[in-house]
């Protein structure tokens, strides 16, 4: 029998990865969809008058196997893909899109939902039930329930096409990332630290190349190269290769796909009665309107750009003094900013990395969670994995009771997309009095161990691990009744608060003393080094802020307009980014064509949320800092915010935690852009 269709007879009902084969996915999805359609038919065919229990709750519980199969499939597609899975994904996405549309456009089902919504006052609903009803009703309205005739069919066509285009976009970016290799001889390695050279030699060895060093566009390879290589010509080659991914008129070019996605999203929004895609998206966000996002970005830019321009001028002078370079290019920025940072603070990644052995950083993150929330992580070897690199844990609460399963997948490989993310294989919910606990996963791309050294993280990688771990805690601590309101199922511009606030602990000596010990000597990270780390935290912050604002502006430029008049991706992006570009433009580079967050992931018209959530996290951590970073009272309040998930409006949750609305100036203070 297909393992995806039976109950999982595994520890904590985790996916039986060893039994699941590629050929199981499509049959499982088809059978699960057929079963779900029967469940929907039972709702619409009920002779009972529509009420919250027999309509809204029944719909919430329908299609459980569909969701489970889809979660496993798409998680593997991101973390352990291959040609077969990518081929399957086209039919898989089409089937899911049709299934979703069949529900959202089911007139009899919506009539029952509408009846419950109209009679909601008489239902005497709890706050959580009222939120589920509101979200269910709004979801149907936002996905075409009121459309008729040709408009309904056009919506179906658009959703089908968007699903396929999004997959194609991601495949092209992954293919372009994997296709590039910079093969070097020893003479080409000037300036690179030994650890970076050793990793590149390992990569070459894996590819069957001896006495060679191979660098790729995977972040653990790309970032150190452009940061340390003295060979300006090779840095230029790497930066141009990275920037031209899927923007080169080749078979994996995304230019046409980008324009198609933008136009289809616009058409879809107009069909549903919205001015544009951004208006549609932001109806379900804290920001509410594109104008509010644009005002927010403008306010940040006014504070950050003068500082960023001063930083670039200073760096240009420094590059001139060091190497006679008087026009700073994009392939120079990381290199010279790292050198200037070393000179100013006496600190760099190579100095810090010995203190950040991966296993110790993981242990540190777990200890921080224990101090804040009383939870513990126990490694388990009886939970099946989708790849040998994955580490599996059981999470227990302060009483020792089971809380969650946690998967950790840290190293890059050809079948894994770039970047870092948190996801889940099962969300938390309560059903028939049973609390069904979640299965949470983080996926990263960190530097692998070499033949002579363990995996030693850069400080940015430490921040990334704590960031994704913050998302994980949002899922692990979930305590809702309904899966669709549980854990990270919150407004998208609120979802980054739990992750970004966790990064703040990485700058605190009290936290670093837990895990930052030299991997050879065992010496704790010196207080002077921590102080330099904190001092350097705002180094080039103006530039970094403007860069983020530029990406958010580009996102809104694709989604807050009618894109019909956009003919060419390159010139359009150049025009949009003009106000946030601080270095000379590279005509062969393009961000849109590899901007997976907005054209493959869930951040379309939402990339601003990183900076929006930074306001929340800066303000939230000020509270922790004032009271003590492990203060049980503050931690208890934040635990409540995490556990609530999407059961209440985020503004209410934040006010309950903080006792006031967030102060936008908290971010500017932390960034050193205004006086503290």
pLDDT tens digits, 467-487: 999 999 999 999 999 999 999
Distance, in Å, from the CA atom of 400 to the CA atom of 580, rounded to the nearest integer, reads 51
Over the stretch 194-250, which tens digit does the pLDDT of each residue have?
989 999 999 999 999 999 999 999 999 999 999 999 999 999 999 999 999 999 989
Q: Please write the tens of the pLDDT for every residue from 276-329.
A: 999 999 999 999 999 999 999 999 999 999 999 999 999 999 999 999 999 999
CA nearest neighbour of 12 among 419, 303, 316, 436: 436
Instruction: Report residue 570's pLDDT band, with 50, 70 and 90 as the boundaries.
Output: very high
Written as one string, the DSSP assignment of 122-186 is HHT--HHHHHHHHHHHHHHHHTTTT--HHHHHHHHHHHHHHHHHHHHHHHHHHHHHHH--EEE-G
**d(Cα 553, Cα 551) in Å, to the nearest integer?**
5
* DSSP secondary structure letter of residue 402: E
- Domain-by-domain residue ranges, the chain? 3-146, 180-243
Which residues lie closer than 8 Å to 92 by C-beta, 6 or more apart?
Answer: 25, 26, 29, 70, 73
- Token readout for 588 is 């062969």
Which structure tokens are listed for 527?
A: 């207080």
Structure tokens, 166: 């999004």
Q: Does domain 3-146 have CATH number 1.20.1050.40?
A: yes
pLDDT in tens, 90-99: 999 999 999 9
pLDDT score of 659 more than 80: yes
Question: What is the per-residue pLDDT for 566?
Answer: 96
SS3 423: strand
For 287, residues 6+ apart whose C-beta sits below 8 A from its C-beta are 293, 296, 493, 608, 609, 612
pLDDT in tens, 586-609: 999 999 999 999 999 889 999 999
Does residue 134 carry a pLDDT above 80? yes
User: Helix (H, G, I), strand (E, B), or coil: what is residue 436?
Assistant: strand
- As a whole number, mean pLDDT of residues 103-114 equals 97
Give the per-residue pLDDT at 258: 98
State the Rg of the chain over Cα.
Answer: 25
As a whole number of Å, the end-to-end CA separation of the chain is: 64
The mean pLDDT of the chain is 96
**CB-count exposure of residue 39 (10 Å: 0-12, 13-18, 19+):** middle
Start-end of H helices in 437-540: 459-476, 497-503, 509-515, 527-535
Residue 39 catalytic?
no
339-366 as b/e: b if 16+ CB within 10 A: bbbeeebebbbbebbbbbbbebbbebbb
Tell me which residue of 362, 376, 442, 373 sits closest to 404, measured CA to CA: 376
Cα–Cα distance measured from residue 40 to residue 64, given in angstroms and rounded to the nearest whole number: 12
Q: Which residues pair with 536 in a beta bridge?
A: none
Cα–Cα distances (Å) from 238 to 235, 252, 607, in that order, read: 5, 18, 26
User: How many angstroms from the chain centroid is the CA of residue 231?
Assistant: 33
Q: What is the 3-state secondary structure (H, E, C) of 587-631?
A: CCCCCHHHCHHHHCCCCCCCCCHHHHHHHHHHHHHHHHHHHCCCC
Under a CB-based contact definition with an 8 Å cutoff, are residues 184 and 207 in contact? Answer: no
- Report residue 676's pLDDT band, with 50, 70 and 90 as the boundaries: low
How many angstroms separate the Cα of 640 from the Cα of each of 236, 242, 397, 473? 48, 42, 15, 12
- Is pLDDT above 70 for 183? yes
Residues making up the chain, counted from first to last: 676
CA atoms of 345 and 388, how far apart (whole Å)? 40
Specify the 3-state DSSP secondary structure of 585: coil
pLDDT, residue 665, reads: 84
For 215-237, letters b (16+ CB in 10 Å) and e give bbbbbbbbbbbbbbbebeebbbb
Q: Regarding beta strands 439-443 and 421-426, do their DSSP bridges make them parallel or antiparallel, or are they unpaired?
A: antiparallel
Q: Is the pLDDT of residue 521 over 90?
A: yes
> C-alpha 511: how far from its chain's center?
24
pLDDT of 673? 83
Helix (H) / strand (E) element for 439: namely strand 439-443
CA-to-CA distance for 143 and 503, rounded, in angstroms? Answer: 36
The C-alpha atoms of residue 565 and residue 576 are separated, in whole angstroms, by 14
The 8 Å CB, 24+ separation contacts for 569-576 are 569/247, 569/255, 569/258, 569/259, 569/593, 570/247, 570/255
- Given the residues 80, 461, 468, 503, the one annotated as active site: 468
Q: Which of 479, 474, 478, 480 is nearest to 499 (CA)?
A: 474
Average pLDDT over residues 159-183: 96
């Amino acid at each position: 029998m297909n393992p995806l269709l039976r109950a999982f007879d595994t520890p904590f009902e985790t996916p039986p990865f060893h039994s699941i084969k590629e050929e199981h996915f499509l049959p499982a999805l088809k059978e699960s969809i057929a079963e779900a359609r029967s469940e929907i038919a039972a709702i619409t065919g009920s002779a009972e008058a529509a009420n919250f229990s027999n309509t809204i709750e029944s719909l919430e519980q329908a299609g459980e196997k569909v969701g489970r199969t889809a979660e496993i499939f798409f998680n593997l597609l991101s973390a352990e893909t291959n040609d077969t899975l990518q081929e399957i994904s086209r039919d898989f996405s089409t089937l899911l899109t049709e299934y979703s549309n069949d529900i959202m456009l089911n007139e009899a089902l919506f009539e029952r939902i509408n009846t419950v919504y109209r009679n909601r006052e008489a239902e005497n609903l709890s706050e959580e039930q009222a939120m589920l009803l509101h979200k269910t009703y709004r979801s149907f309205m936002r996905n075409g329930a009121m459309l008729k005739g040709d408009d309904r069919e056009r919506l179906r066509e658009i959703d089908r096409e968007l699903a396929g285009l999004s997959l194609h976009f991601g495949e092209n970016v992954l293919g372009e990332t994997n296709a590039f290799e910079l093969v070097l001889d020893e003479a080409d390695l000037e300036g690179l630290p030994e650890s970076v050279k050793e990793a590149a030699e390992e990569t070459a060895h894996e590819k069957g190349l001896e006495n060679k060093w191979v660098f790729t566009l995977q972040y653990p390879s790309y970032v150190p190269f452009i940061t340390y290589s003295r060979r300006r010509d090779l840095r230029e080659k790497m930066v141009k290769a990275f920037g031209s991914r899927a923007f080169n008129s080749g078979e994996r070019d995304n230019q046409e796909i980008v324009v198609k996605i933008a136009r289809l999203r616009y058409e879809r929004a107009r069909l549903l009665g919205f001015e544009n895609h951004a208006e549609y998206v932001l109806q379900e966000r804290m920001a509410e309107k594109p104008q509010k996002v644009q005002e927010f970005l403008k306010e940040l830019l006014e504070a950050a750009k003068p500082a960023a321009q001063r930083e670039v001028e200073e760096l240009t002078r420094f590059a001139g003094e060091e190497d006679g370079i008087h026009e700073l290019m994009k392939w120079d920025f990381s290199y010279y900013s790292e050198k200037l940072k070393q000179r100013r603070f006496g600190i760099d990644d190579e100095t810090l990395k010995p203190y950040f052995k991966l296993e110790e950083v993981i242990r540190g993150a777990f200890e921080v969670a224990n101090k804040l929330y009383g939870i513990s992580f126990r490694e388990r070897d009886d939970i099946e994995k989708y790849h040998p690199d994955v580490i599996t844990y059981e999470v227990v609460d302060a009483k020792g009771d089971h809380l969650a399963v946690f998967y950790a997948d840290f190293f890059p490989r050809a079948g894994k997309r770039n970047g870092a993310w948190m996801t889940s294989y099962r969300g938390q919910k309560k059903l028939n009095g049973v609390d069904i606990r979640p299965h949470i996963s983080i996926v990263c791309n960190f530097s692998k161990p070499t033949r002579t050294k363990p995996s030693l993280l850069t400080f940015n990688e430490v921040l990334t691990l704590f960031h994704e771990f913050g998302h994980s805690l949002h899922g692990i601590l979930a305590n809702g009744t309904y899966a669709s309101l549980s854990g990270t199922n919150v407004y998208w511009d609120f979802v980054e608060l739990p992750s970004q606030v966790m990064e703040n602990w990485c700058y605190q000596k009290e936290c670093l003393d837990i895990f930052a010990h030299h991997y050879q000597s065992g010496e704790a990270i010196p207080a002077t080094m921590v102080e330099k780390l904190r001092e350097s935290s705002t180094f080039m912050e103006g530039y970094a802020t403007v860069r983020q604002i530029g990406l958010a502006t580009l996102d809104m430029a694709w989604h807050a307009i009618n894109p019909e008049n956009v003919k060419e991706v390159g010139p359009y992006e150049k025009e949009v980014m003009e106000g946030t570009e601080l270095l000379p433009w590279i005509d062969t580079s393009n961000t849109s064509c590899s901007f997976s967050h907005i054209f493959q992931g869930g951040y379309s018209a939402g990339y601003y949320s990183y900076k929006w959530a930074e306001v929340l996290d800066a303000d939230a951590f000020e509270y922790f800092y004032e009271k003590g970073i492990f203060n049980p009272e503050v931690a208890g309040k934040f635990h409540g915010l995490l556990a609530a998930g999407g059961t209440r409006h985020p503004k209410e949750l934040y006010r309950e935690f903080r006792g006031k609305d967030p102060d936008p100036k908290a971010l500017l203070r932390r960034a050193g852009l205004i006086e503290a």
